[in-house]
Structure 1
Amino acid sequence: MKKLVMVGLLLQGITTHLTAQDSTSPKVPFSDIETNWQNGSDRRDSSVFHGVYFVPSVMADVNYTHSFNKPIDNTVVGSTALARNNEVQLSQLSLGGDFSYENARARVLMQFGTRSIVVPRNDVSPYRGQYQLANVYRYLSEAYVGYHFNKWYGINVDAGLFMSYIGLNSYYQVENWEYQASFTSDNTPWFFNGVRIQIFPAKHLKIEPWIINGWQSYGRFNKQPGVGANITWNPTSNFKILTNDYYGADAGGLPGRKRFHSDNSMLVRYFNNPKSRGISRMALSLTGDIGFEKGDGVNGFKSDDKKGPAQYFASSMIYNRIWFAQNKFAWTIGGGIMNNPGRYLVLYPTGQASPLPDPNNPTQTEGKYPFSANPGDQFKAWDCSTNFDFMPNQSLLFRIEYVHRHANVPYFAGAGGVTSPNGYTTTPLPDDWRPDLVKSEDRIIFALLFRL
Structure 2
Amino acid sequence: MILSHAGFSTRAQEVKKDSVKTKIPFENYDLTWINGQNRQSDFPLTLKDKSGQTILTGVALVDGYFNYNFARPKDNTQTISASMGRSNEFSLNQASIGIESNYKNVIGRLWLQTGSMLHIVQETDGSVTRGRNTGTGNLKLIREAAAGYHFDVNYGLNVEMGIFMSYIGLESYVLQENWSYQRSMVCDFTPFYFQGARLQYFPTKNFKTELWILNGWQTYNSWSKNPGLGSSNYYRPNDNIQLAANFYYGTDSKSGTNTLSKVKRFHHDDSMVYRYYKNKAAKGLSQAAFSINNHYGFQSGDGVKAKNNYMTGSALSSRLWFAQNKIGWTVRGDFVSNPGAYLAFNPAATVSDNNGNVVLNDYDNALAAGNNLKITQLTSTLDYMPNDFMTFRLEYGYRKSNVPYFAGPGGTTSQTGFSNDSIDPTWKPDLRKQENRLTLAVNFRL
Is the structural similarity TM-score above 0.5?
yes
SS at match of 1:342: helix
The match for 1:368 is: 359
Q: What letter corresponds to residue 263 of structure 2 in structure 1?
A: R
Tell me which residue corresponds to 1:437.
431
Which piece of structure 1 moves more, 197-206 or 41-50?
A: 41-50
Unaligned runs of 5+ in 2: 1-16, 49-54
- 1:411 offset after TM fit, Å? 1.0
- The reply to whether residue 293 of structure 1 matches residue 299 of structure 2 is yes
Q: Helix, strand or coil: the match of 2:128? A: helix
In structure 1, the partner of 2:344 is 346
Deviation at 1:263, TM superposition (A): 0.4
| Preserved contact between residue 341 and residue 379 of structure 1 (Cα < 8 Å) | yes
Task: Select which of 102, 113, 116 maps to 2:115.
Answer: 113
Partner of 1:305: none
Report the residue type matching 2:38 in the other structure.
D
Matched, 1:34 2:25: no
Aligned with 1:325 (options 323, 339, 360):
323
2:8 aligned residue: none
Which one of 395, 406, 410 corresponds to residue 401 of structure 1?
Answer: 395
Match of 1:72 among 51, 74, 77: 74
Greater radius of gyration (CA)? 1
- The match for 1:13 is none
Q: Does 1:337 align with 2:335?
A: yes
Q: Residue by residue, what CA displacement relative to the aligned partner does 1:169-220 show, whole Å, maximum 9, x if unpaired?
A: 0110111000001111110111111111111111111101110011111111
1:6 corresponds to: none
| Cα displacement (A) at 1:22 | 12
Number of the residue aligned with 1:227:
229
Other-structure match for 1:10: none
Give the TM-score of the pair, scaled to structure 1. 0.88
- Whether the 8 Å contact between 1:341 and 1:375 is mirrored in structure 2 is no
The answer to which of 203-212 and 221-230 deviates more is: 221-230
Equivalent residues of 2:353, 2:422 under 8 A apart = no
Alignment of 1:30-109 (within 5 A): 30-52=26-48, 53-109=55-111
Give the corresponding residue for 2:200: 198
Could you say which residue in structure 2 is the equivalent of 1:156? 158
Contact 1:343/1:374 (CA < 8 Å) preserved in 2? Answer: no
Task: Return the offset for 1:57.
Answer: 0.7
Indicate if the aligned counterparts of 1:367 and 1:429 stay in contact, CA closer than 8 A.
Answer: no
- Following superposition, the deviation at residue 412 of structure 1 comes to 0.9
Shift of 1:376: 5.9
* Secondary structure of 2:254 counterpart: coil
CA deviation after TM superposition for structure 1 residue 375, in Å: 11
Structure 1 range deviating more: 213-222 or 389-398: 213-222
Give the structure-2-normalised TM-score. Answer: 0.89
Equivalent residue for 2:13?
none
Give, in whole Å, the separation in 1 of the partners of 2:35 and 2:248: 22
The Cα of 1:449 is off from its aligned counterpart by 1.3
User: 1:398: Cα distance to partner?
Assistant: 0.2
Are residues 388 and 115 of structure 1, via their aligned partners in 2, closer, same or farther at CA, if it must alter by over 3 Å?
Answer: same
Q: Displacement, 1:96?
A: 1.3
Helix, strand or coil: the match of 1:51? strand
Amino acid across the alignment from 1:149: F
Matches within 5 A, 1:145-294: 145-253=147-255, 254-294=260-300
Q: Quick one: percent identity of the two aligned structures?
A: 39
2:353–2:359 contact (8 Å) kept in structure 1: no
1:130 is displaced (CA, Å) by 2.2
| C-alpha distance in structure 1 between counterparts of 2:423 and 2:134, whole Å | 27
- Report the residue type matching 2:136 in the other structure: A
8 Å Cα contact 1:292-1:312 kept in structure 2: yes
1:31-90 alpha-carbon deviations (Å, 9 max, x no partner): 121110000001011211221322111111100000011100000001011011111110
**What do residues 291-342 of structure 1 show as CA deviations (whole Å, max 9, x unaligned)?**
11111222213xxxxxxxx211100000000000100101100120111101
* Gaps in structure 1 of 5+ consecutive residues: 1-20, 302-309, 360-365
Task: Sort the Cα spacing of 1:293 and 1:374 in 2 relative to 1 into closer, same or farther, 3 A.
Answer: farther
Structure 1 counterpart of 2:329, which letter? Answer: W
RMSD between superposed Cα atoms in Å: 2.1
Partner of 1:138: 140
Equivalent residue letter for 1:425:
S
- TM-aligned CA deviation for residue 24 of structure 1: 4.3
- Conserved 8 A contact 1:367-1:435: no
State the match for 1:315 in structure 2: 313
SS across alignment from 2:209? strand
1:129-153 deviation line (CA, Å, top 9, x unaligned): 2234211111111111111111111
Match of 1:362 in 2: none
Distance 1:43 1:375 in 2: 46
